[in-house]
A and B are shown apart, each in its own frame.
Chain A
Amino acid sequence: EAQVTQNPRYLITVTGKKLTVTCSQNMNHEYMSWYRQDPGLGLRQIYYSMNVEVTDKGDVPEGYKVSRKEKRNFPLILESPSPNQTSLYFCASSSYDRVSYEQYFGPGTRLTVT
């Protein structure tokens, strides 16, 4: 089954404790992206990756890191989480074939930083 998986689905942590949210897709997609969703603000892009070892900042990259060492994985790293990073996070992937850019979304990770 074609899917994007994220782990963990729920996470409660404390300020300053480094964490990683994993994202994996099994569709051989080149393009992967991280978004955060906050009430009243919609989805905002954090980082995206056009392919392996190619990443770029989205609209709200501060406080986040990403890496793309393998095509299927795109982890999101919070080196020193703060309460303003409490949010619902989505990973997404798509094929970059210049024909269709339909994005497939993961189920989301709800992060609470206290």
Chain B
Amino acid sequence: SQQGEEDPQALSIQEGENATMNCSYKTSINNLQWYRQNSGRGLVHLILIRSNEREKHSGRLRVTLDTSKKSSSLLITASRAADTASYFCATGRSGGSNYKLTFGKGTLLTVNP
């Protein structure tokens, strides 16, 4: 079953604007990750935030995690046309000796020059 659900499904902004994408999930997690995918290509890891962290930064990316609301957000500041891609959140859960990573359906971000 899908664990993460991104919102919105699609987002179109102008270059230079900030883009915010949200992710909600249903059960407890160990970590939450964000990935980027350019059309038809493999996913690329952007950032990981652990369940005991509330905020993390990496370059122009800012991720927040609210475990009480079971939600996360990804903020891309000063967007560029090259940021155009699909963005996925993925929730990681450990159980015994197993580890499962579940992806959402993604947000398609279009940055217009």
Contact = CB atoms under 8 A, between A and B. Distances in A.
A40 B105 CA distance: 7
A79 to B, nearest CB: 24
Contacts, number: 62
Nearest to B5: A42
A32 B41 CA distance: 18
Nearest to B47: A102
A102 B42 contact: no
A88 B102 CA distance: 17
A104 interface: yes
Interface string B40-59: 11111100100000000000
18 contacts: A31-B99, A35-B103, A41-B105, A43-B103, A44-B2, A45-B100, A45-B101, A50-B97, A90-B42, A90-B43, A101-B31, A101-B48, A102-B45, A103-B90, A103-B101, A105-B42, A107-B42, A108-B41
Given A105-B44, A106-B42, 19 more contacts: A31-B99, A42-B2, A42-B88, A43-B43, A43-B88, A45-B100, A50-B98, A56-B98, A101-B48, A101-B92, A101-B99, A101-B101, A102-B45, A102-B48, A103-B90, A103-B101, A104-B45, A105-B35, A108-B42
Interface of B: 1-2, 31, 33, 35, 40-45, 48, 88, 90, 92, 97-106
Interface of A: 4, 31, 33, 35, 40-45, 48, 50, 56, 58-59, 88, 90, 92, 96, 100-108, 110
